Amino acid sequence: MKTLEDVKANGHEEALRELLFQLADDDFIVAYRGSEWLGLAPHIEEDVAFSSISQDTMGHATMYYQLLEDLDAGIANDLAHGRMPEERRNAILLEEVNGPGHYLEEPRYDWAFAVVRHYFYTQAKKIRTDSLQQSSYEPLSHVAIKVNTELYYHLMHWKTWFKQLITIPGEAQERMLEAVSKVLEDMDGVLTLGPQAEQMAQAGLIEGEALLRKRWMNEIESMMDSCNIQVNLEPQMKRGDGRALTHTEDLNTAIETLSAVYRQDPAAIW
């Protein structure tokens, strides 16, 4: 399938849009949370690295919103900034604040949570993107190939942090293990493809959810083994399914902040 007409003729329009909204909204919100670390990261090299990764990730969201625009779902900029929180398909884990406090006033952000959330998400994104390279929708497979060239560096980065912190006995390891338990409570919200997962797989847009989840489990298990860490790896969806439009207050405040400039003048050229 190469065009909207092909997709329509095959009856896969709804499943394709749903998948693209998940991909776009996930990257959009996690890039925003990442960019909130600017100036607060543990050292200056990390400030540079994390903001570069967040910028790439926002670029990936842009491509997915552009694919939606090509499918007549609306203008990319409006899709990114103009949609209400209750219309968004991102996983709840990705909208969560970085920690207590406010960016401008006494931010008490949790670096262990950042490392675990971004590593677990980036690994899931890698597995998903690898699968999308064979997507039956050709424009999506092209975007996936492009995303993967950049994702290579992101995954390497988070693996390095994860390994280094979780293998240091004492406070580092304790806080990392705590963060692992916390992230796992909502991780299945990232791994799920939502209510239309089956239609997506049947259309050949992406492989089945169970298979992708298994691959993610294998990767994380082998990382844990190499770090000599025993963890009960059971990703859950405690706070609900973002793919099915369930969200928390954290998403409301995030959207309100990040779309403030857009709302002042939606027609402005940036």
Q: Which residue type occupies 101? A: G
Q: Which residue has the tokens 């000599």?
A: 228
Each residue 5-44 as x (binds another protein by CB under 8 A) or -, in order, gives ----------------------------------------
Q: Is 146 in the site for another protein (CB under 8 A)?
A: yes
133 neighbors 145 (Cβ within 8 angstroms): yes
- Two tokens at 62? 């842009």
| Region label for 228, one of left (φ > 0), alpha (ψ between -120 and 50) or beta (otherwise) | left
Shortest distance, position 9 Cβ to another protein, whole Å:
22
Identified binder of another protein from the candidate list 9, 38, 48, 260, rule CB under 8 A: 48
Q: Is 163 in the site for another protein (CB under 8 A)?
A: no
94 neighbors 121 (Cβ within 8 angstroms): yes
| Beta carbons within 8 Å of 170's beta carbon, 6+ residues apart | none
- Two tokens at 190? 């990232």
Please count the residues of this chain forming the interface with another protein, following the rule CB under 8 A.
26
Q: Is 125 in the site for another protein (CB under 8 A)?
A: no
Shortest distance, position 34 Cβ to another protein, whole Å:
11
Q: Is 73 in the site for another protein (CB under 8 A)?
A: no
Under the rule (CB under 8 A), what is the footprint of another protein? 45, 48-49, 52-53, 55-60, 62-63, 139, 142-143, 145-150, 152-153, 156-157
